[in-house]
Amino acid sequence: MTEQKHPQKQPKVCPECGHVFQGNGWDGIDAHWRARHDDVMPYEEAWPLLKAETYGN
């Protein structure tokens, strides 16, 4: 049996609504966040937290 050298990455999931992002990581998060969650926190503030995986922790 051949071992995988690169484990599959888990898809990124919006912590506010559970939307699962397709493709490469957070592709599309800016448009998604601005359209659906900007009233919770502006995207410019949320993005560093999302990227660091510390949003909501």
**Domain limits for position 38:** 26-57
Say if 42 falls within a structural domain.
yes
The percentage of residues in the chain with a pLDDT greater than 70, rounded to a whole number, is: 86
Give pLDDT, residue 57. Answer: 78
Residue 15: closest CA among 34, 37, 30: 37
**pLDDT by residue (tens digit) across 17-33?**
999 999 889 999 999 99
- How would you label 15-36 residue by residue, b for 16+ Cβ within 10 Å and e otherwise? ebeebeeeeeeeeebeebbeee
Number of separate domains in the chain: 1
Say if 20 falls within a structural domain.
no
